[in-house]
Amino acid sequence: MNPTNEILKLRGKVQHYAWGGFDYIPALLQVDNPEHKPYAEYWMGAHPGAPSLVQRGADEVPLNTLIASDPATYLGQEVYDDFGELPYLFKVLDVREMLSIQVHPTREEAIKGFDAEEAAAIPINAADRNYKDRNHKPEVMVALGEFWLLHGFKTRDKLLKVLNEVEAFHFLIPDFGEGYYQLYKTVMELPQEQVDEILRPLVQQALANDDTLPGQPAYWIRKLYSTGQELTNIDRGIFSIYFFNIVQLQAGEAIFQGAGVPHAYLQGQNIELMANSDNVLRGGLTPKHIDVPELLKHTLFEGIEPNVLKGEVLSGGEVNYPCPVSDFAISKIDLLPELRHTATSNSAEIFIVTEGELRTVNVYHRFKKGDCFFVPPATSYELETTSGCTLFKAFVPA
């Protein structure tokens, strides 16, 4: 219970990963970036490595500390019993350079993998450590503008068309005849020399073509090799750019990535919500460790038609993006001046304002673009705006 209907202002944590953009997150947070640092991610949550700070009077308390001090009040007994912590991490991402191709394990596989690596005494921060925890890592993202990503293998006909059209891939047609697994295994296990031989002409072609579109693999190859690096040790992730669906999302569209679905964020800004886990198996577009046998074990080898979620319209300007997991849920609220949004939280909720400003009615707060706030479970609140505003809400589904 939250008898005081307390709403708590949060301060998230910026992650300056090298792939991040320079302007979007600073503009959202309304801060200057005079050192021109990359602002890749803005984290909102209770991750022990970078907890958000909760404003309490003149003090700031880490959200994980606050929750641990009274889990029944700040998390709710049921969520505490099920997860023992805030089960989600909420983020804003600004993807300037492509991220690595990755696959996440199921929870059962993560437990097995983690326990095996512990038993083998592989240090938790070792470069070849796959499992950092015993949790799964489903993710949902909502685009904040035009967003591009790789998501799952193309369906059979589309992929066969690619193998036929790209001459350098003709030798793979018999492998694909045996299925997705054999095709992918072949390219992931090819000696690097052969990878270079096969991909070099494709990279050269892409670099020579300056009117490619983001729906085409050549566009991303150009982007990957735009700095004129030598065409040796070519990234075998390029095969995946051809084999996977290249998906375009418009602002307000979402996509869910469950266990096993290979994916990579290519470009744009989004709101991301995920389970608390760092379990990532990489498959290319990265200088980091690739454990091919482990990757092959956990990849979903089937063609998929990406399921782009437009959201279900609820009352009060709210659009919900249904996700098939119990760890988290996400909605977008477009608040109009004449429309008050009234609700009672069912779980620990985190909000971020992405446009405009609003105020809370019962206990007075003002929040503007870039602000975020934490609403404990069983809190009644009303939001209203004079300017119109957009906010995103993360919560735990009932």
Note the residues at the interface with Zn ion (CB under 5 A): 102
Token duo for residue 100: 């690595």
DSSP codes of every residue in 232-279: SS--THHHHHHHEEEEEE-TT-EEEE-TT--EEEEEEEEEEEEES---
The nearest distance, CB 263 to Zn ion, in angstroms, is: 6
Specify whether 282 is catalytic. Answer: yes
* Distance, CA of 108 to CA of 72 (rounded, Å): 27
Nearer to Zn ion, 52 or 102 (CB): 102
Residue the block writes with tokens 């009644």: 380
Nearer to Zn ion, 102 or 240 (CB): 102
Q: Of 134, 156, 282, 359, which one is the catalytic site residue?
A: 282
The nearest distance, CB 67 to Zn ion, in angstroms, is: 25
Our measurement of the distance from residue 246's CA atom to the centroid of its chain's CA atoms, rounded to an integer in Å, reads: 16
Token duo for residue 266: 């290519």
Q: Which residue is nearest to Zn ion (CB)?
A: 102
Nearer to Zn ion, 2 or 102 (CB): 102
The nearest distance, CB 109 to Zn ion, in angstroms, is: 15
The nearest distance, CB 35 to Zn ion, in angstroms, is: 29
Nearer to Zn ion, 102 or 130 (CB): 102
How large is the angle between the packed helices 192-208 and 217-224, nearest 10 degrees? 100
Which amino acid, residue 168? A
Q: How far is CA 112 from CA 109, 128, 130, 314, 322, in A?
A: 5, 16, 11, 40, 28
The nearest distance, CB 350 to Zn ion, in angstroms, is: 20
Nearer to Zn ion, 102 or 270 (CB): 102
What residues contact residue 138 under an 8 Å CB cut-off, 6+ apart? 104, 256, 257, 258, 259, 274, 275, 323, 325, 327
Quick one: which of 17, 93, 151, 20 has its CA closest to 274? 93
Question: What are the residue numbers of the active site?
Answer: 282
